[in-house]
C-alpha cells in the first residue's frame, strides 16, 4: 500500500485559542492509519503550542513550518532559522507560490532555503507550479508539492488526470514523492490520492476546519 502524505497549510491563520479549539475537535476522531502521514504547517507562533498538544495527547500529527530563513542564526531581523525550527518541526514548506508572488522569492533564495532545511534535517516540501521550477531541485532529497496557480484558493482544482500527468513528469526528473495542492476538499481528495503518481495532498483552506481536515484524512 502506498504511503499517503496529507499536509495541512494553515497559512497566516489562527490564534492560540483557535488552535486549541481546532486540536480539541480534531482529536475526537480516530484517524490512525498506518499508510497515512499527517503534517500540520501552522504559523511559527503556533508551533510551540501544537508541539505541546501533540506530546500531551500522544497524537500522530507531525509538524512543519511554512518557511525557513535562507541564513543561519545571526543578525537577520524577522527571520526564523533552521536550528530554531528543528526544535518543533520535522518538515518545512519552501517556495509556496504566495511567497514567490508576495515576497519576491527567487529560485536562488529557494535553493538556499532547501540547503538550510537539509542542514538541520528538516524535510523540505517544495512547491512548484510547473516542470521548469522542478528542474531546479533535482539534486535534493525532498517532497514536491505540485500546485497549479489557478487552483490555489480558487475552489477550482486541477483535474486528477492532469495532476497525475504532472506528478509523473516530475518523477521522471526527481526521485521524490509528489503531492497535489489546490482546492483539495474531503469531496475531491480521493480522486487525487487514487492516482498512481500522486503521493498525497496539500490542503490549505480545508485544513483550517478540524472536521473537514479529519474528513480529508479519512477519505484520502
Ligand atoms: C495551499 O495552501 O497551498 C493551497 C493549495 O491552498 P487551498 O487548498 O486553499 O487551495
Q: Tell me: the pLDDT tens digits for 65-120? A: 999 999 999 999 999 999 999 999 999 999 999 999 999 999 999 999 999 999 99
Q: Strand, coil or helix: what is 206?
A: helix
- Between CA 189 and CA 192 the distance in angstroms is 5
Q: Quick check: 176 and 142 in contact, CB under 8 A? A: yes
Dump strand ranges (E) for 88-216. Answer: 91-94, 123-128, 143-146, 178-180, 200-201
pLDDT confidence of 32, banded at 50, 70, 90?
confident
Domains of the chain: 4-219 (3.20.20.70)
pTM: 0.97
Q: Strand, coil or helix: what is 34?
A: coil
Specify whether 96 is catalytic.
Answer: yes
Q: How far is the CA of 206 from the centre of ligand 1 (A)?
A: 8
Specify whether 57 is catalytic.
Answer: no
Q: Nearest Cα to 167, choosing from 139, 143, 140?
A: 143
User: How crowded is residue 172: how many other Cβ atoms within 10 Å of its Cβ?
Assistant: 11
In what helix (H) or strand (E) does residue 50 lie, and over which residues does it extend? helix 47-56
Regarding the beta carbon of 204 and ligand 1, being less than 6 Å apart is answered: yes
Decide if pLDDT at 30 tops 90. Answer: no
User: How long is the chain?
Assistant: 220
Cα–Cα–Cα angle for 153, 157, 162, rounded to 5 degrees? 140
Q: How far is the CA of 204 from the centre of ligand 1 (A)?
A: 4
**Cβ neighbours of residue 90 closer than 8 Å, sequence gap 6 or more:** 62, 63, 64, 121, 122, 123
- Between CA 78 and CA 20 the distance in angstroms is 26
Regarding the beta carbon of 147 and ligand 1, being less than 6 Å apart is answered: yes
Q: Tell me: the pLDDT tens digits for 106-162? A: 999 999 999 999 999 999 999 999 999 999 999 999 999 999 999 999 999 999 999
- Which residue's CA is the nearest one to ligand 1's atom 5? 182
Residue 12 is predicted with a pLDDT of 98
Amino acid at each position: 500500500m502506498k504511503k499517503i502524505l496529507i499536509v495541512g497549510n494553515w497559512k497566516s491563520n489562527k490564534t492560540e485559542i483557535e488552535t486549541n479549539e481546532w486540536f480539541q475537535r480534531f482529536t475526537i476522531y480516530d484517524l490512525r492509519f498506518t499508510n497515512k502521514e499527517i503534517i500540520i504547517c501552522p504559523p511559527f507562533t503556533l508551533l510551540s503550542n501544537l508541539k505541546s498538544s501533540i506530546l500531551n495527547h500522544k497524537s500522530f500529527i507531525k509538524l512543519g513550518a511554512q518557511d525557513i530563513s535562507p541564513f543561519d542564526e545571526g543578525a537577520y531581523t524577522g527571520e526564523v532559522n533552521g536550528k530554531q525550527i528543528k526544535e518543533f518541526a520535522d518538515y518545512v514548506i519552501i517556495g509556496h507560490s504566495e511567497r514567490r508572488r508576495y515576497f519576491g522569492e527567487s529560485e536562488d533564495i529557494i535553493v538556499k532555503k532547501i540547503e538550510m532545511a537539509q542542514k538541520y534535517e528538516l524535510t523540505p516540501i517544495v512547491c512548484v507550479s510547473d516542470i521548469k521550477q522542478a528542474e531546479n531541485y533535482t539534486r535534493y532529497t525532498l517532497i514536491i508539492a505540485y500546485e497549479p496557480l489557478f487552483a490555489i484558493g480558487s475552489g477550482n482544482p486541477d483535474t486528477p488526470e492532469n495532476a497525475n500527468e504532472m506528478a509523473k513528469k516530475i518523477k521522471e526528473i526527481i526521485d521524490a514523492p509528489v503531492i497535489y495542492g489546490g482546492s483539495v476538499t474531503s469531496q475531491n481528495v480521493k480522486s487525487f490520492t487514487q492516482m498512481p503518481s500522486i503521493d498525497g495532498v496539500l490542503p490549505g483552506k480545508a485544513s483550517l476546519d478540524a472536521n473537514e481536515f479529519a474528513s480529508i484524512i479519512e477519505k484520502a
